Amino acid sequence: MNKLISATEYDFHVDLQQSLVNLVLERNSPPTEGCPQGGVAQSPNSKIHTKPKEVLTIINGSKVYRNFIQNLPRSSRLNQLAKDKRKAGILPEVLFWKQVHKGSFHKIDFDRQRIIGNYIVDFYVKSLGLIVEVDGSSHDYKQAYDAARQAYLESFGLKVFRCSNFDVKNNINAVFTSLEDFIVNEYGENSISVFDQSNNVRELAPFYISNSSRTST
């Protein structure tokens, strides 16, 4: 016979599960944002849960399907840094945010300075599992670190769209045209990456970087 549990017992189990996730994160996540040495270790499994043919929006006549990814790890140690980044008012990020704030870009919700693992991404669309990074000039000098960072994020099934500070400030219409094309290609009707044809759940394998691939400051 199944035993019913109280709301208090349920909350305890939820808290315990989250504590275990956080423990895995502390042991297996890459170093905290801004500290690239040490490389990327094993990433916890996450799952893509998607209802078949659940349309999120329509872009240029193409249906875009929801692609929500559950159980992404996050480091609470970065909470204050994420808040500070939101308040910093970096011009390209502010310009981008004005274009997407409150669903103004095809009614898609964007989060700013979202914590994933031990990283803080510039913008995140949780309904798509999409990261948008606005790269400054420092990107040119830390390409190996950024490549490892992106590979870690992609190991959860996330997609990463990158644009430059220069383009956001000087040609923002082209940036959003490229973003539209990227979303349609990755999450549109002709994309096969959104759905697992068996049961719409994809288990993600651990991702590793060897010692030879690690970078240091």
- Residue 62's domain is classified under what CATH number? 3.40.960.10
Domain enclosing residue 144, as ranges = 7-203+206-210
Q: Which pairs count as long-range contacts for 68-72, CB under 8 Å and 24+ apart, including other chains?
A: 68/126, 68/127, 68/128, 68/129, 69/126, 69/129, 69/156, 69/157, 69/158, 70/46, 71/21, 71/44, 71/45, 71/46, 71/47, 72/46, 72/116, 72/117, 72/156
Residue 213, pLDDT above cutoff 60: no
How many domains does the structure of the chain reveal? 1
Q: Is residue 1 part of a domain?
A: no
Q: Is residue 217 part of a domain?
A: no
Mind listing the pLDDT tens digit for each residue in 35-55? 444 444 345 556 555 456 799
Residue 169, pLDDT above cutoff 60: yes
Q: What is the pTM of this model?
A: 0.69
Q: Is residue 40 part of a domain?
A: yes
Q: Is residue 33 part of a domain?
A: yes
Q: Is residue 215 part of a domain?
A: no
